[in-house]
Structure 1
Amino acid sequence: MARTALTPQRFATTGLAPSYVTPDAAGVSLRSSGKQLLHVKNGSGSSVTVTLKIGKTVEGQSVTSPTVTVAAGADQFFGPFSDNYEQPDGTDTVFVDFSAVTSVTVACLSL
């Protein structure tokens, strides 16, 4: 399955009412300019682990990607993302994985 590609939604002085989507089981991708935030809302009855995929290697070795637990019924913001999170294909794309996606919604917000 393909990742859900998120389109950044820009903040404005007149306000932002973001749209949220359910991520694909494979996770999400977003283009990063260093000004994007990922908002994860966990509406499920269990915690969800969010993995922020590091796209770089150090001297040819993979780096362990950080994980964060979002509690049941909670929400959390992630980012902005440094170039360490961008995948090595040169497209400035960041990958984020989820341990479960049932009742989870996400939005990519741009400063």
Structure 2
Amino acid sequence: MMDQAKLQEVFSDKAYVESIAKLSAEDAAKSLREKGVDVTADDLMQVRDFLMKHKEEAQNGELSEDSLAEVAGGSAGAVACLAIASFLLTCSGTIMLLAW
């Protein structure tokens, strides 16, 4: 389970988030693990796929109940993806710049 306080700390640094958005999924995951966020490249790819699937909602910074239901009660990886996605949504402009 991801520590919400750790996610908040890491993803509140907009410069850092923008820097990892330019990395490969593998390098971004490694960097996040070095910051104490237990995530894999596959988790990050799930984040990207989820955000791209819900691109319009993501650009508005909100996800519908239907979108959230896709991951509700899902695997730990899916829940981790939702947590990461929610923090990425707070970094305006970052989502469309994801290299992974």
Instruction: Identify whether the pair has TM-score above 0.5, normalized to the shorter chain.
Output: no
Structure with higher strand content: 1
Question: Structure 2 length normalisation: TM-score?
Answer: 0.28
Q: Tell me the TM-score normalised to structure 1 length.
A: 0.26
